[in-house]
Amino acid sequence: MLTKTLWIIWTFLNFIVTKGHDDISVNKDTVQYKTSLCDKPCVADNAVDRNIQTCTKMEDIGTTSTDKSTWWYVDLGGTYNVYNIKIQFKDYVGYTMRQKGRFAGFSLYVSNTTDLHSGYLCYKDGPELPPLDFNITCLTNGHYIIFYNERRDEITYPGGYETGSVFMELCEVFVTGCKSGVYGEHCNETCPDNCQENRCDLINGTCFGCNPGWNGTYCHTPCPDGHYGLNCAKKCVGRCKDHDYCNHTTGFCDNGCADGWTGGNCTDECHPGTYGPKCLQTCSGNCLNNSTCNRTNGTCDMGCDSGYTGDLCDIVCDNGTFGTNCESKCGHCSENVTCNSLNGRCYNGCALGHSGDFCNISTGKYSS
């Protein structure tokens, strides 16, 4: 009769705890440190079978035992938003205080690995003795729920703690919450689009963190102009086309780079000898003293080599001119042929009546 009454009470309490949220630990994979010898199987899975009459039992720990600590965990099978953890510890008629003393001091961790040290400490019991129908709200997220307890020889424990030969017996571990990506009383609300790892607060849907490029409580706000990345901590450093700001998520220039710049972030100058949009244009090669052209527009900022003119130094001197910027005039070349555009010399010598290196000296002798 007592067993049936306990079962009814347990079922009612479970209804209260799970109303709305999902039971995310039922029949999931479990592991415990060492399983004790029992009349009936007392394996780790007993704690998630939803049968109050079957319990786990781990080998004893304590001052008279070889082992000083023990643990049990349930693998939720994925990352979940945890709301509540309920544990029904084993009770014996007439031995309630002893059982409380055994479980006293236990810890609960929610972790993404089986290493409790990398997890979030959801609860640490003590110094008072715990109830045998333990219940705690724990708003966090994780892949594993880890139960841990210890009895160290060097520690003096509070009164009521059992320390000699201590057994851990978990009859049911009931974890409620929502799968990642949803929240709300009925796990039917979708987390905001830009929540990091698609995780949000189980109650109000606020994001635990934002994806790169977003900020705000619900991650609805893009990074301010000139900033991008995780927590909007990075500053745009590239030269985007038309003075645009970089993409608030990636830092790239969505419309391309300003003339003279290249690379994903538009932080790389054009290689010497190239210029313009995407650095696809080639310098004329006629800039003064082999200097490179302007990477933005291709002009020779230091001027042109002898024999060339124009902004890009791509125009050969003509109309009887030569030299720097084609500012010098050719002399009197034979047969009226123009001089060499680079050095001003006449290809076939000077016309009659003229001499000199540039055929610009009059001799006064002409043909009849």
3-state secondary structure of 15: helix
pLDDT score for 73: 98
Compute the distance between CA of residue 224 and CA of residue 234 in angstroms, rounded to an integer. 11
Question: Cα separation of 214 and 230, whole Å?
Answer: 8
pLDDT the model gives residue 16: 43
What is the structure's pLDDT at 165? 95
Residue 100 pLDDT: 98
pLDDT of residue 21: 86
Separation between Cα atoms, residue 254 and residue 261, nearest integer Å: 14
Please report, as a single letter, which amino acid is at residue 154.
Answer: E
Cα separations in angstroms, 286 against 34, 277, 278, 294, 306: 83, 21, 22, 12, 8
Query: What pLDDT sits at residue 269?
Result: 94
pLDDT in the model for residue 220: 96
Mark the ranges of the chain whose per-residue pLDDT is less than 50.
Answer: 1-5, 7-18, 368
| Sequence spans of domains, the chain | 20-180, 270-316, 318-368
For residues 335 and 363, give the distance between their C-alpha atoms in angstroms, rounded to a whole number: 17
- Cα dihedral 310/311/312/314 (nearest 10): 0
Give pLDDT, residue 368: 44
Distances (CA, A) of 62 to 129, 164, 249, 360: 17, 5, 54, 115
Q: How far apart are CA 33 and CA 57, in angstroms?
A: 10
Architecture of domain 20-180 in CATH? Sandwich (2.60)
This prediction has a pTM of: 0.64
